[in-house]
A and B are shown apart, each in its own frame.
Chain A
């Protein structure tokens, strides 16, 4: 996982160590790469802009675009902007997004500091554990929490027996913020640890020698140096907060707490007829909110490159000594966080998967059963869902790595206009909730004649997944590609190799081990995906995540619990695989 942290965060924290000028000249001379770039970026543009364009178009119509009565109009916006529920959802979304950042950034930053800059023990294990919540689908997480810390959860009942009351309410705004914040800590950690790992330690050491405490050093020396990375991580999490779906879907439901994504989900019921134009209008609002965040991220990236001098290659990093007391405190903090964000939800799921009932006055031992799994195995669609999920994660993940590699190469050492276009293309799907993208792809496969045969096959889901996972996957690949020292490419070029040849003979062989790690991680990302398939899947193309969302509608909790358990099991397998492959990168 160590290798993972490095690759995933690389474009960020001053990893770009090569001098900019030769890279630029490489681009200028690269005639044969130009065509490749145009083709790849062009194809990507089609894949991204078709669904996004359809949503934009739909938002300006008075009815679903396929309806005969649809005319150009602003009705959808009028409705949305005069609906009090919309403003309520918008306010709640903003509150949750900012609240989540306020929880996740300090915690993630603290973890990153402890794990990269200090001599805390058991680092290798901690580095893995810290990332676990990121790999579990948020529907699964939220579901696990209801069983452990919900109003009648086992943890709540336990605490109530001691205190006489339950000091928290999971189904409240603070509850949702806390859960969302804790589960996004790994996203922050990933970025900040990458940035911190590359900081030279001489400044910190100097401060330590001058008598400053570890706490002081972290605040006065390390913090200012990684500030751009922190802002970047905050912006990213804000983005994630705005399009969060699973947690508010499960935890906001009972008390009617709505966010923008669940509001769009609800709009369809509200009218009794498909109101895709309203969904599209809300999606546009989301784009308008998130695009500036994307812009900020780009600006920060550019700045971070300017500061590249900070992270020279030979930078020596020595870890700060925590001391015995420091170690104890650090372990206590990390242990508590792990307990709350990993142990509690997973315990909840495992428990629920093996019982038929739980809660107040229920003897859990009397309820122990494997019936949930027997029943699961009797339902063909659920079994198929498991098989499909494995297929799309393992095989689809590998194909996706190939696609992302091609896109990564198109953007590699490319600083022209096409790269700006590429950046936005990549981040555009990120700015939209998976649910809406899934719906747009459903339309694409339904209405574009030569694509219709793909709809009942896993290929439709795969294409949507590739687009949804684009920003994450590409970041992984770009990070790996950037690790190839530019000198190697330059020497190949100087000896007369074309850019294509350079990539084929120099770059790809070097990054090959990195690709294996990327494959394992994309596999996990595809495994946890749930929103994209909600509208897109049909008989034969079911996947676990979306099945859980659709089962939530009828409330088949036994089946959801069993599926959640299997999903966690698969994630654990994927993670083990990732570690195996990642370890190879290390050796």
Chain B
């Protein structure tokens, strides 16, 4: 009898233990400061088993972050789609129209497109428990979250241009182009806003924030400036000596490249250093809504932000120690870091008339008329 009882007790104990092991989320999985019921989100996400990202970020760059997520939440498979800024945006709206939503999280550097997706109801509202840890400007109506702050700057060939001669302000840059017409002919590069969403964002943001953008564009046109569709392509030409300097490029890449490439320097405007953010949103009809929440929260968490910064995307937080964070970056660029505002102003240049007008003026400036 005693033996029998003991046996029963052991069974119960074993069952309890088993139940504990099988339960997908334990309380200790819930990060500090998160609501207690977050364990349910984790459990549901585990059950979903996958999360799909549409993005414009190269996987090579995102890999440290993806690895960190997989380590933290094993069993949730990440389907990573690098589609470019246009590709991500177009695919999201095409799929929504077909009722075949494939993306859980859209993570793109085209801030204007992301805002447009949110405006048109493609983003679901979600208040991240990490929202309180990022600056106020870094989120928009619980739909869009800035996951990085990346300075826009200059890269230059150090052999062709000694550090002392590198323009330090916007006015310097314009003057530099105007004063060195013959030496710089065909040797200055920038983004082609007609081909690149990032380039379009950088240039139009300048139009909105500064008074001198068109002077810069005209000086750029006057020396036969060359335009590219990516920062990487410009880096290749600046390192090889084909171009002397490239402006309005993604400076966070520049910081990384300057470390590993010979002949390459990076500089930022001390009077004004705009910065863009990669924005993340959860789609309104995400096929894996819980895994999407998990991913977004992790993206904004200290651990996730450190992993992103490790991949060269400076953190929006100030309490990370990998790479740059919002505070150390501001010091690095000379104290005038001005993140592009996360508001409906981003939509200004999505207006067809404004867009056409911008391109017309851009082309006119470039052709020197």
Contact = CB atoms under 8 A, between A and B. Distances in A.
Interface in A362-382: 362-363, 366-367, 375-376, 378-382
B150 interface: no
Interface string B28-50: 00000000000000000000000
Interface stretch (B85-93, B266-274, B301-309): B85-93
A357 B226 contact: no
A447 B112 contact: no
A559 B355 CA distance: 33
Interface string A336-380: 000000000000000000001111111100110000000110111
B233 A446 contact: no
Contacts of A557: 232-233, 235-236
B59 A550 contact: no
A376 B231 CA distance: 19
B242 A67 contact: no
A150 B240 contact: yes
B330 interface: no
Interface residues of B, number: 63
Contacts of A356: 260-261
Interface string B74-105: 00000111111111011001110110101000
A563 to B, nearest CB: 11
A452 B58 CA distance: 27
A559 B232 CA distance: 11
Interface in A506-523: none
Nearest to A366: B262
B365 interface: no
A19 interface: no
A460 B82 CA distance: 18
B194 A270 contact: yes
B355 to A, nearest CB: 6
A273 interface: yes
Q: Which of A274, A359, A552 has the most CB of B within 10 A?
A: A359
B263 A357 contact: yes
B197 A555 contact: no
A551 interface: yes
A109 to B, nearest CB: 36
B9 interface: no
Contact residue range for chain A? Answer: 35 or more
A202 interface: no
B322 interface: no
B87 A535 contact: yes
Interface stretch (A47-55, A253-261, A286-294, A305-313): A253-261
Nearest to B249: A555
B112 A67 contact: no
Contacts of B240: 150-153, 357-360, 362
B228 interface: yes
B350 interface: yes
Interface in A19-43: none
Nearest to B158: A361
B113 interface: yes
A396 B8 CA distance: 60
B239 interface: yes
A382 B239 CA distance: 25
A535 B86 CA distance: 11
B103 to A, nearest CB: 10
Contacts of B162: none
A559 B59 CA distance: 11
Nearest to B359: A270
A174 interface: no
A494 interface: no
A273 B80 contact: no
Interface string A256-282: 100000000110111111100000000
A272 B349 contact: yes
B350 A273 contact: yes
Interface string B326-342: 00000000000000000
B112 A553 contact: no
B321 interface: no
A125 interface: no
A256 B192 contact: yes
A209 interface: no
A447 B98 contact: yes
B262 A550 contact: no
A335 interface: no
Of A361, A367, A557, most buried by chain B (CB within 10 Å of CB) is A361
A274 B192 contact: no
A268 B87 CA distance: 9
A67 B96 CA distance: 10
Given A152-B240, A552-B233, A553-B230, A269 B98 contact: no
A446 B91 CA distance: 10
Contacts of A64: 94, 97
B60 interface: yes
B95 A446 contact: yes
A256 B196 contact: no
A495 interface: no
A498 interface: no
A375 B194 contact: no
Interface of A: 64, 66-67, 150-153, 253-256, 265-266, 268-274, 356-363, 366-367, 375-376, 378-382, 442-443, 446-447, 452, 455-456, 535, 538-540, 550-557, 559
Interface of B: 52, 56-60, 63, 79-87, 89-90, 93-95, 97-98, 100, 102, 112-113, 116, 157, 159, 189, 192, 194-197, 200, 226-237, 239-242, 260-264, 349-350, 352, 355, 359
